[in-house]
Structure 1
Amino acid sequence: MTRLHHRLDGPEDAPVLVLGPSIGTTIDLWEPQLAALAASWRVLRYDLPGHGGSEVLHGTMGDIASAVAALLDTLGLERVAYGGVSLGGAVGTTLALDHPGRIGGLILCCTSARFGDPATWHDRAAKVRSGGLGPLADMFVGRWFTPGYTGSDSAREMLTKVDAEGYAACCEALAAFDVRDRLGEVRAPTLVIAGAEDIATPLDHAETLAQGIRGAELVVVPGAAHLANLERPEPVTHAMLRHLERTP
C-alpha cells in the first residue's frame, strides 16, 4: 500500500478530523485552520500521493481513498470526520461512499463530483511529464486565487515539493473521477464550501454536490477562488467549526 506522509496535531484524546489537500499542495495548505481546529480535534493531515513526503500512486480516486483508509488502520482510527480541498475533497467523497462506516462528518471545500473534461486532465498530465511543474506554476496560481491576491508565495512553495510524476498520476485519477450518480448514497452530515470566484471548480459544481447529498449545507465564500481556505481563512474556519460542532 502507498505510504502517505502525515502529521497529527491536537489533544490525543480528542475526536479525529482528517484533512486532505488539493492537487499541487501539501499538508501546509491547512495551516490557516490548524490552530482553531486542533484546539478541540485531533487533526490528521496527509500529503496526497507524490506530494510532500508521500509516495507516488498510479491509480483511481478509489485507490487514493484506500490508501487513506489504510493510514487510518495503521493509526488505529476507526471513525473520523473528514475535510478536503479539491482532490482532497474528492477523496473524502469517495471514502464516504466506499467506506461509509468510517466517515462521521464530511467537509467538501472547492471540490466537485466530476472535474470537467477528462481530456483536459490527460493533457495536463502530459505537459507536466514533459516539462515539469515549473512552467505551469503561474497558470496554477492564477486559477487558485482571485486577481490581485498577494499571499500566493506559500502556495508556490508547496508546489516545489510536488513530484511531477506524482502530480501527473493525480491528474489521471481526476480525469476518471465521476460520482454524480452516487451522491445520494452519501450518509455523512456534509458541508459544502465554495469560493464565489472559483474558476477551477465553479459554483455550479458545489451546487451539484449540495443538491445531490441529502441534507448537505452550502456555504459560499465571497472574494475567494479555488484555495478559499488560504485566501479567506476566517469564513472557511468559521464554517468548518460550526459544522463540526454539530457532527456526532
Structure 2
Amino acid sequence: MFWIHSLNKFQEALHKCSSLESLVLTSSEGHPKLTDSKSEDTSCNINSFSIKENPGKPLIDMIFSSCTFPSLNELQIERMREYNLTYQWPSGAFISLISRSSCVITTFSIRGISISASDLIAALHVMPSLLSLEVEDGEWHYNCPVNQHQSPINSVFITRLAHRAQSSAILVPKLHSLHLLSYRMTSDADCGFDLSFIDMVESRWFRPGSDLFAAMSTVGRGCIRSVEMKFARRNIDPVIYKPLRVLDEEGLRVVVSGMDTVVI
C-alpha cells in the first residue's frame, strides 16, 4: 500500500516495482500535487488496482489521465471519508484509461463516489467483459438533504441493466454477480424502482438446463448468479419482492434487505 502525495511519487513506485501485480493506493490528508509532466506511465503486470480516496484534489483524476494498465482486470474505487459535494466524476478520463489500456475488466467496484446514472452506464459500456459489479452510493451525513444528491442507483440505471434491449445495446452482457447498496431515503418513487429492479433480475436469470440458458450462452450472454440489493435508510414491502423468491428457489442467490428487515 502506498501513501501518495504526488503523481511523481506514484510513478516512481511503479518503476521500482515493475513486477507488481496488485496495487492499493490510499491518498493522505490534503491535496495530492499535480505535476507538469505530460508523460503516461505504463505498468504491464498490475491486474488488481484499488484506489481509496480521501477528500482533496482527486487522486482518481490524475491516475485516470496518466496511467496505462494493459493487464488490469479488477478495479476498485472508493471514497474513504465524507462525501464531496463538489466532486465531478471524470467520465472522459475513465473511458480513455480503459480504452488506452485495452484491458479486460471482469470485476468493478465503486463506493461513495459522486457519479450519475448516465456516467456509470457510460463507464460500463467500455467494460463488456464484466462479471462482478458492486455499486454503493455513499453514506452521507444525516443532517444533509440526501435526496438532493445524485445517486447512480436509480430506475434509469436499473432499466439499462435489463436484458430486453437490442443485442447491440445490452449492458455488461456477461454479468454474474451484482451488489448494490443504497443510502437513499424513502420517496414516492420507491415502488417504481422496486418493480424495475425485479424486472431487471428476471430478465437476467436463465434457469440452468433450460433451452433459454443454452441459447443465451451461445451468444455470449451470462446468467446472473448472485444479486444483493440493500437499502440502508428505507423500509421495503416484502410482498413486492415475492417474485424474486421463486428465482431464489430455482438457484439464483438473492438477498434483498431494508433498513430493519431482510425480505429474501
The higher relative CO (CA closer than 8 Å, separation ≥ 6) is in 1
| Structure in which a larger fraction of residues adopt strand | 2
| Structure in which a larger fraction of residues adopt helix | 1
Q: What range describes the TM-score normalised by the shorter chain of this pair?
A: 0.3 to 0.5
